[in-house]
Amino acid sequence: MSTKIPIRFLDAGLGTTLELPPHNAKFREGSSLWSSDFLISSPDTLSGVHKAFVDAGADVILTATYQASLEGFAATEKLPGDQTPSATAIDNGSHCENQPASNGTYNPEEATAFMRKAVPLAKEAITSRQHNGAERTSKGVALSLGAYGATMQPSTEYSGEYKPEPMKTVQGLHDWHDRRFKIFHDDKDTWDNVDYVSFETLPVLQEVQAVRQIMAKHNNKCYKEWWISCVFPNDDLTLPDGSPVSAVIEAMLQKSDPGKGQRPWGIGINCTDIKKLNDLILQYESNAKRVLSPYVEKADGPWLVLYPDGAQGSVYNTETQGWEIDPEMKAKGPQRSWHEELAEIIIRTAERGRWHGILVGGCCKTTPDDIKKLRAQLASATSDAYYLETG
């Protein structure tokens, strides 16, 4: 192939890294905030994890906001001696009416302040570090916006079982995501420090459609590169709602117009078993070509964003908020190393030359060490299909 494609590196599993030494985090029982809870209890710990990923070679750092929501903060008890950062009041709508904050939990203004705090935390980490003594030009902060189901208790982004009924519609999901998005977008200092926007682990087709409409409305004057990433837990490689990849790609990439919304800079797969990744990518490629070929040249096509999990057979139980070993996978014995398997997939994907670039990292159960090994593996491989953009 005549043109090499660039590869950038994303970070990996923030929440599961927090659970490991030296942090040994214990998440509050009954809270839907998960790693976002550390914006309240220990922002220095979050900063340390962000910096560890930068030191490992990550170019892009996701904020600790994946499961953050006004509803989640409204249901979280305040910690003794908590000092809430100040926030400019914004119109947050009436979506907390069914979960009013008492004196013992966080009201919308307090929640807004904590959520915005995640952006400068990530920005400071990525601007304070250097890789091999040289500043890296493609470093950036990605605003992490998880699926609506990720903010529920228990979480439902792996099942797509959304409640109440309005949250099963494009309009209901649009309104909910729009309110959360504006928390960051409507504050200039916060928005200026955002380089990418990530809508992650989306399990239902209506949610893909909803976030495109939001970005069409807000992402114009000060454009941010952004991506949509879906989760594929089913053995038949469908979304949790049963949608096939063909329908997913159509929802992601149909031509931008007022009805379809803005086309994303990147499309991806995250929090999905690495064993499914190659087959999913092939389906992404064939369907993207079908949808885009009438009006998009390759140079203007999307980036591919990949961050599979490193669970290697473990399954996350949303009820107990813990990882459980799959007996069948355990019986198969040791698995191939995550970084070797993913590097091989990336090389094959780059050699097919279907994408403008690849942004790659990890999800649950992956660590800074995994990112370091993945970067080294791709740097040492002999291939004319790609180049590492930095480092």
- pLDDT tens for 92-123 read 443 343 344 445 899 999 999 999 999 999 99
Return the amino acid letter for 369.
D
Q: What is the mean pLDDT of residues 23-38?
A: 87
pLDDT 10s digits, 171-183:
999 999 999 999 9
Asked if the model's pLDDT at residue 274 lies above 50, the reply is yes
Angle at CA of residue 104, ends 179 and 49, nearest 5°: 65
User: What distance, in Å, lies between the first and last C-alpha atoms of the chain?
Assistant: 24
Return the amino acid letter for 107.
N
Contact 141/60 with Cβ under 8 angstroms?
Answer: yes
Q: What is the mean pLDDT of residues 260-265?
A: 89
Q: Which helix (H) or strand (E) holds 228?
A: strand 225-230
- Band (pLDDT 50/70/90 cuts) for residue 221 is confident
- Band (pLDDT 50/70/90 cuts) for residue 337 is very high
pTM comes to 0.90
Q: What is the mean pLDDT of residues 330-342?
A: 77
Asked if the model's pLDDT at residue 148 lies above 90, the reply is yes
pLDDT 10s digits, 305-328:
999 999 766 665 555 556 566 666
Q: Are strands 303-307 and 196-202 parallel, antiparallel or unpaired?
A: unpaired
pLDDT 10s digits, 182-196:
999 999 999 999 999
CA distance linking residue 87 with residue 151, whole number of Å: 22
Question: Which pLDDT does position 25 carry in this prediction?
Answer: 86
